């Protein structure tokens, strides 16, 4: 204001400028020590590759633990990542896939079919819950649904081991129990994370597609038949 009132030449009164007291000027003007900031950026570039990879792997592993023991923790939701779901989906699809049309493995889902079912299924369930008025974000929901496939992947590994032994009635009963238990575990784990974000009178509408999703994956695992 002082500068505007004067009719002196430009910049002449610059040294006289004082900020009047009724303009609140607060804050902390401090120049961050240059090297400190640069160090933060450079530090992840300079660290050994092992550290970088282990950090992500540890995050993924921590989330696996959260899925296996589902408590009301927000770790899965807060720091979502899609590495875990990708890893699980690829593992499951590789183990489930069938061969070409002529081979003995005909009739099994192809790799692409499993992949598409898992990812498109998760996207559709997420869209469904958002359309019904859920407050969870898109990627958080994808993250939860993907991570909760872990029990079913474990069941797949167990089924494959059981099938190495025999493929008769007893092995079927064992596989049925294992797959049913892990399907229940997956559904329970994902609803523990997802149910809170839904309005109360629509919870069942959101839980049912999740149930159907894991049921279909469970069926694919259960009907996996070994090639002769």
Partner 1 sequence: MASPDDLKFQEFEEATDLLSSNPGASTLSISSPGTGASPGDVRLDLSDDEENQQENSELLGGEKQTGGFWTFEYYQSFFNVDTVQVLDRIKGSVIPLPGRNFVRHHIRSNPDLYGPFWICVTLVFSVAIMGNLSTFLSKRGDPDFHYRPQFHRVSIAAVTVFLYAWLVPLGVWGFLTWRQSVERQISGYTFLETVCVYGYSLFIYIPTSILWAIPFNWMQWLLIVVAMVISGSVLVITFWPTVRDDTKLTAFATMAVIVSLHALLAIGFKMYFFQTATYTGSSHPAQHITPASNHTSSTVG
Alpha carbon of residue 105 to chain centroid: 31
What is the 3-state composition of the chain as percent helix, strand, coil, each rounded to the nearest 5? 70, 0, 30
Least distance from C-beta 44 to partner 1, angstroms?
36
CA distance 118 to 111: 11
Rounded least distance, CB 203 to partner 1, Å: 7
Distance CA 146, CA 89 (A): 8
Cβ nearer to partner 1, comparing 71 with 228:
228
Nearer to partner 1, 67 or 96 (CB): 96
- Supply the minimum distance, in Å, between the C-beta of residue 131 and partner 1: 4
Q: Which is nearer to partner 1, 39 or 106 (CB)?
A: 106
Handedness of CA 126, 127, 128, 129 (dihedral sign): positive
Report in angstroms how near the CB of residue 216 gets to partner 1 at its nearest: 6
Minimum distance from CB of 213 to partner 1 (Å)?
A: 10
The owner of tokens 């859920």 is: 134
Strands (E) located in 103-211 = none
* Residue 223 CB, nearest approach to partner 1 (Å): 4
Which residues of this protein are in contact with partner 1, per CB under 8 A? 98, 104, 106-110, 113, 128, 130-133, 199, 201-205, 208-209, 212, 215-216, 219-220, 223-225, 228
Q: Which is nearer to partner 1, 98 or 151 (CB)?
A: 98
Considering the complex, state which of residue 66 and residue 183 has its C-beta at the smaller distance from partner 1: 183
Q: Closer to partner 1 by CB, 98 or 146: give it.
A: 98
CA distances (Å), 193 to each of 29, 39, 68, 214, in order?
Answer: 42, 37, 12, 15
Reference 111, options 87, 131, 93; nearest CA is 93
Closest CA to 77 of 124, 142, 153: 142
Is the Cβ–Cβ distance between 63 and 75 less than 8 Å?
Answer: yes
Distance CA 196, CA 70 (A): 14
């Amino acid at each position: 204001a002082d500068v505007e009132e004067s009719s002196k030449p430009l910049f002449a009164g610059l040294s006289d400028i004082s900020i009047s007291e009724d303009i609140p000027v607060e804050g902390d003007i401090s120049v961050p020590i240059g090297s400190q900031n640069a160090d933060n950026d450079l530090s992840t570039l300079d660290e050994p590759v092992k550290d970088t990879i282990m950090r992500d792997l540890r995050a993924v592993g921590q989330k696996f633990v959260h899925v296996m023991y589902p408590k009301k923790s927000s770790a899965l939701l807060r720091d979502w990542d899609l590495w875990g779901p990708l890893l699980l989906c690829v593992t499951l699809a590789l183990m489930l896939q069938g061969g070409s049309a002529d081979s003995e493995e005909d009739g099994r889902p192809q790799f692409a079919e499993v992949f598409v079912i898992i990812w498109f299924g998760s996207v559709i369930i997420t869209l469904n819950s958002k359309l019904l008025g859920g407050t969870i974000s898109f990627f958080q929901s994808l993250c939860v649904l993907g991570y909760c496939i872990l029990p079913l992947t474990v069941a797949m590994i167990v089924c494959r081991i059981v099938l190495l032994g025999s493929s008769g009635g007893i092995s079927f009963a064992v596989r049925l129990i294992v797959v049913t238990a892990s399907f229940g575990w997956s559904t329970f784990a994902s609803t523990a994370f997802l149910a809170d974000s839904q309005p109360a009178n629509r919870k069942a509408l959101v839980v049912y597609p999740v149930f159907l999703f894991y049921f279909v994956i469970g069926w694919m695992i259960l009907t996996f038949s070994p090639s002769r």
